[in-house]
Amino acid sequence: MHPRLLLSIIALSILLPAFLIAQPSGDRDARFRQNSIRAETQGLAEPFKGVTTHGEVQKDLFHIRSTGVSTEPVRKAALALFDTLSPAQQAKTKFPIDDPEWRKWMNQHFYVRQGVGFDEMNPTQRDAAFGLLKASLSAKGLQLSKDIMNLNRTLGELNNNDFPQYNELLYWLTLMGEPSATEPWGWQIDGHHLIINYFVLGDQVVMSPVFVGSEPVIAESGQFKGTAILQEEQNRGLALIQAFDSDQQTKAIIQSDKTRNNNLTEAFKDNLVLD
């Protein structure tokens, strides 16, 4: 090889940012696994308390009471999904009601998740999985969930068709407890920019924590071109800030450029003390 050509190749490899240099999938997977273990080890080190104002749980803040709205369709949908799974899939999908799996979620794509993935489901299983979401969520919530999943493929398209990291099927479902009309149980969907924790007791439902978002929020090209999410929320937020006078805007706007994440409550920050 000509010395100048060799020198050019070496210089280019030094100057190229690391994320532009293809890395073996095995190395990437190992790094993702290590990062996931680190996040869980640090995030689950303390017993769960939840978000508090002084570090202590406030008793009797929420009450168990009937809502008068039946959750039977949700229970039946969960059982229907579970029945479609193979024994191996069932074993990795079902957890005890008090399992730390409730706390194991992350909005970032690299997290190694538990449960059964949409990418390993057959069409019948996938229909049953969406059937659980349909029975559990409003029509708007179901559509938002599907759109977020689809936009994850758009992100893959924008990253040189990197579908092993970003696609619409990289979402996982778990069940906690036994779907019951009287005993506590629930389910979780976990994936990039879509997390729903859905707890059921009788006819009472608690959906928390929930994370919804996307990058991008509008698909301008590709398989799901035209898909858009959170536009109403975005526009209402903009209208609110524009309605403030200059002094109010100074108080309300933390910074005008996004240089880092300012969110306080996120994955593995269950016990935030918010003063």
d(C-alpha 130, C-alpha 127), whole Å = 5
**pLDDT (tens digit per residue) in 176-206:** 999 999 999 999 999 999 999 999 999 999 9
Q: State the pLDDT confidence band at 258, using cuts at 50, 70 and 90.
A: confident
Quick check: helix, strand or coil at residue 110? coil
d(CA 53, CA 45): 20
Residue 89 lies in a domain: yes
The pLDDT assigned to 61 comes to: 87
Beta-bridge mates of residue 204: 201
pLDDT recorded at residue 104: 96
Q: How far is CA 77 from the centre of its chain?
A: 21
CB atoms within 10 A of CB 139: 8
Residue with tokens 């994440």: 261
CB–CB of 175/187 below 8 Å?
yes
Residues contacting 125, CB < 8 A, separation 6+: 81, 84, 85, 89, 116
pLDDT in tens, 56-93: 999 888 899 999 999 999 999 999 999 999 999 999 99
Q: Containing domain of residue 148, as a range?
A: 70-248
Dist CA 196 CA 207 (whole Å):
7
Each residue of 22-52: pLDDT tens digit? 455 679 999 999 999 999 999 999 999 999 9
Q: Could you tell me if residue 201 is inside a domain? A: yes
Q: Domain for residue 16, yes or no?
A: no
Query: What radius of gyration, in Å, describes the C-alpha atoms of the chain?
Result: 22
Q: Is 82 domain-assigned?
A: yes
Who wins on pLDDT, 12 or 247?
Answer: 247
Find the mean pLDDT for residues 227-241.
97
Indicate the number of domains in the chain: 1
To the nearest whole number, what is the mean pLDDT of the chain? 90
Residue 153 lies in a domain: yes
pTM: 0.87
Question: Is there a contact between 150 and 225 (Cβ–Cβ < 8 Å)?
Answer: no
Angle, CA 186 vertex, CA 181 and CA 187 arms, to 5°: 140
**Digit-coded pLDDT (tens) for 115-170:** 999 999 999 999 999 999 999 999 999 999 999 999 999 999 999 999 999 999 99
Are 201 and 143 in contact by the 8 Å Cβ rule? The answer is: no
Contact 133, 142 (CB under 8 A): yes
In a domain? residue 61: no
Contact (CB, 8 A) for 183 and 244: no
The Cα–Cα gap between 263 and 268 comes to 12
Residue 263 maps to a domain: no
Q: How far is CA 247 from the centre of its chain?
A: 36
Q: Is residue 214 assigned to a domain?
A: yes
pLDDT digits (tens, 9 = 90+) for 7-26: 333 333 333 333 333 455 67
Please report the pLDDT score of residue 24 as a whole number: 57
